[in-house]
Structure 1
Amino acid sequence: MENLSGSGDIHVPRRATISAIAKLAGVGTATVDRVLNNRAHVGESTRQRVIQAKRAIEAGTAIGSRPRPWRLKVFLPGEAGPSTDLLADCLQDYGARGNATIECVFTKKLEPASLARKLHACAGQGVEAVAFQALDDPRVHDAVESLARLNIPALTIMSGLEHPALIGYIGINNRAAGRTAGYLMGRLTRQSGSVLVVTGGELYRVHEDREIGFRACLRQDFPHIGEAIVVNGQDDAEGNYQGVRKAISERDDIIGIYNVGGGHQGVARALKDEDAADEVVFIGHNLTSRTKSYLLDGTMDIVIHLNVRIVAEQTVEALVSYLEKRDFKPRPILTGVITRENITGATFA
Structure 2
Amino acid sequence: MKKLTLDRLAQMAGVGVATVDRVLNERGGVSPETARKVLQAARELGLKRVLPEEYKQPWHIEVILSGNGSFFFKQLAKDFSEIASSLGYQRVKLSRTFVAESEPEKLARHLINCTKKRDGIIVFAQDNPAVHHALEHCRDQGMPVITIVTDLPHASRLCHVGINQLQAGRTAGLLMGSMSRVAGEVIMVSGSFDYTAHRQRIEGFRQVIQQRFPHITLREVLVGQDQREKIHRLLSKNLENAASVVGIYNTGSGNTEVSEVLAGCGLLGSCTYITHELYSLTRRLLAADQLNLVLDQNARQHAQLALDILLKKLENQIEPDIYQSGKVDFKLVTAENYA
Bin the TM-score by the shorter chain: 0.7 to 0.9
SS at match of 1:136: coil
SS at match of 2:154: coil
Is 1:335 matched with 2:330?
yes
Identify the residue that residue 95 of structure 1 maps to in structure 2.
84
Is 1:185 matched with 2:176?
yes
Contact 1:176 1:210 in 2 (8 A): yes
Identify the residue that residue 77 of structure 1 maps to in structure 2.
66
After superposition, give the CA deviation of every residue in 1:48-83 in whole Å (9 maximum; x if it has no partner): xxxxxxxxxxxxxxx996612111001101133121
Identify the residue that residue 27 of structure 2 maps to in structure 1.
20
One-letter code aligned to 1:102:
L
One-letter code aligned to 1:105:
T
Distance 2:103 2:196 in 1: 14
Q: 1:327 to 1:123 in 2, by over 3 A?
A: closer
Please identify the structure whose Cα radius of gyration is greater: 2
Contact 1:185 1:256 in 2 (8 A): yes
Contact 2:162 2:326 in 1 (8 A): no
Q: 1:122 to 1:253 in 2, by over 3 A?
A: same
Contact 2:269 2:291 in 1 (8 A): no
Distance 1:104 1:87 in 2: 11
Contact 2:149 2:163 in 1 (8 A): yes
Distance 2:66 2:33 in 1: 28
Cα displacement (A) at 1:103 = 0.7
For 1:151, which of 111, 119, 142 is the aligned residue?
142
The aligned runs of 1:289-304 (5 Å cut-off) are 289-304=280-295
Identify the residue that residue 114 of structure 1 maps to in structure 2.
106
Q: What is the root-mean-square deviation in Å for CA atoms of aligned residues? A: 2.4
Cα displacement (A) at 1:164 = 4.7
Contact 1:92 1:101 in 2 (8 A): no
- TM-score (structure 2 length as normaliser): 0.81
Identify the residue that residue 311 of structure 1 maps to in structure 2.
302
Cα displacement (A) at 1:328 = 4.1
One-letter code aligned to 1:138:
P
Distance 1:168 1:232 in 2: 28
Identity of aligned residues (%): 29
Cα displacement (A) at 1:276 = 1.2
The aligned runs of 1:265-284 (5 Å cut-off) are 265-284=256-275
- TM-score (structure 1 length as normaliser): 0.78
Contact 1:271 1:299 in 2 (8 A): no
Distance 1:73 1:189 in 2: 44
For 1:244, which of 232, 235, 238 is the aligned residue?
235
Distance 2:111 2:94 in 1: 15
Cα displacement (A) at 1:227 = 2.2
Cα displacement (A) at 1:201 = 2.7
Structure 1 segments of 4 or more deviating over 4 A? 25-28, 63-66
Contact 1:237 1:267 in 2 (8 A): no
Q: Unaligned stretches of 5+ in structure 2?
A: 1-21, 35-51
Cα displacement (A) at 1:332 = 3.5
Contact 2:282 2:291 in 1 (8 A): yes
Contact 1:200 1:233 in 2 (8 A): yes
Contact 2:160 2:326 in 1 (8 A): no
SS at match of 1:250: coil
Distance 1:95 1:137 in 2: 29
Q: Unaligned stretches of 5+ in structure 1?
A: 1-14, 29-62, 345-349
One-letter code aligned to 1:313:
Q
